[in-house]
Amino acid sequence: MSTRTKVKGTNRARSEFIWGWMFILPTMIGLFVLNIIPIFQTIYQSFFKAGAFGKGNVFVGLDNYRRMFADASVWQALINTFKYAVVEVPFSIAIALVLAVLLNRHMRGRSLYRTIYFLPMVAAPAAVAMVWRWLYNSEFGLLNHLLNTLGFDSVNWISNPNTTFIWIAVVGIWSVIGYNMVLFLAGLQEIPQDYYEAAMIDGASAVKQFFHITIPLISPMMFFVSVTRIIAAMQVFDVIYMMMDRNNPAFFKTQSLVYLFYRYSFVESDRGYGSAIVMLLLLVIMVITVIQIRMQKKWVNYN
């Protein structure tokens, strides 16, 4: 940001400076009120044993953090969150990229397909989760009904502790493919057609073109998508919240960190402990993002 550049005495420079700030003021206010201030409040809160309704807080130092490090469910939730991200992010990127390449060609009904793939993004996440919950239902669900008619046994999609995270991630992938695809389409349209023509003259196959032209040139967009997707995947909450409840035997091995945060902060009104959990998440996300930014030199091509 240019806050440190010396403002010259000229009228024009000063006026530009003021107007520049005026223009970003609405966004800045929003950012501060809705994001930055709450972050510091959460940090502050994590050192307290919270009373109800934001009153009666008692300072407990690092007690919440000590309790967190000894809490097996927090570490399990962190593992669960990673498992979810590991399934969701690569698949949602790979599938979206392939779809984007296919839909970037001139073909009949192109915009219809694009619309169809983007539709899940428009649907309310809670509604999406509810529909999937019914599809997955082990007793009355459509998926098991199909399996049974084909002669297979029923599968406990969302109540098997070992596999549930995969089926939850499938819903996540399904919901986000359209969004990733649109971003990739935008990236693809930036690639000059000349490269492909030159490659064709040289006799490169479509697959070779994809790996040697498309992938390198779209890598900045892939970088952007993977950073934002990992952050979003680490914050998974709605699908889990809507599709499972605490009676579920798979719940302990599926609940995410954000779910634990929600549970402690809002259900059991233990705000301090909830804040400590979310600080752990913040730290983990920051570390991952820093690593990604460091790594980008190795594979991202900026022309």
Nearest distance, CB of residue 133 and other proteins, angstroms: 8
Residue 221 to residue 4: CA distance in whole angstroms: 30
Nearest distance, CB of residue 176 and other proteins, angstroms: 25
Q: Pick from 248, 284, 288, 292: which binds other proteins (CB under 8 A)?
A: 248
Residue 130 found at the interface with other proteins (CB under 8 A): no
Cα-Cα-Cα-Cα torsion 53, 56, 57, 58, nearest 10 degrees, comes to -160
Let me know: does 196 contact 141? Beta carbons within 8 Å: no
Q: Pick from 194, 247, 298, 302: which binds other proteins (CB under 8 A)?
A: 247
Nearer to other proteins, 85 or 250 (CB): 250
> Which residues from 156-175 bind other proteins, rule CB under 8 A?
156, 158-160
Angle (nearest 5°) at CA 157 between 156 and 159: 65
Let me know: does 112 contact 199? Beta carbons within 8 Å: no
Nearer to other proteins, 52 or 207 (CB): 52
Nearer to other proteins, 187 or 272 (CB): 272
Nearest distance, CB of residue 26 and other proteins, angstroms: 4
SS3 content of the chain, % helix, strand, coil (to 5): 75, 0, 25
Backbone angles phi, psi at 49, to 5 degrees: -90, 115
Residue 8 to residue 88: CA distance in whole angstroms: 51
Q: Pick from 19, 40, 59, 302: which binds other proteins (CB under 8 A)?
A: 19
Nearer to other proteins, 23 or 75 (CB): 23
Under DSSP, is residue 154 helix (H, G, I), strand (E, B) or coil?
coil
Cα-Cα-Cα-Cα torsion 253, 257, 263, 265, nearest 10 degrees, comes to 160
Residue 245 found at the interface with other proteins (CB under 8 A): yes
Residue 151 found at the interface with other proteins (CB under 8 A): no
Residue 20 found at the interface with other proteins (CB under 8 A): no
Q: Pick from 1, 9, 53, 150: which binds other proteins (CB under 8 A)?
A: 53
Structure tokens at 35: 């994001």
Nearest distance, CB of residue 37 and other proteins, angstroms: 12
Nearest distance, CB of residue 137 and other proteins, angstroms: 6
- CA-nearest of 276, 247, 239, 248 to 260 is 276
Residue 300 to residue 218: CA distance in whole angstroms: 9
Residue 153 found at the interface with other proteins (CB under 8 A): no
Under DSSP, is residue 49 helix (H, G, I), strand (E, B) or coil?
strand
Positions that interact with other proteins (CB under 8 A)? 19, 22-23, 25-26, 29-30, 33, 51-56, 137-140, 156, 158-160, 245-249, 252, 266-270
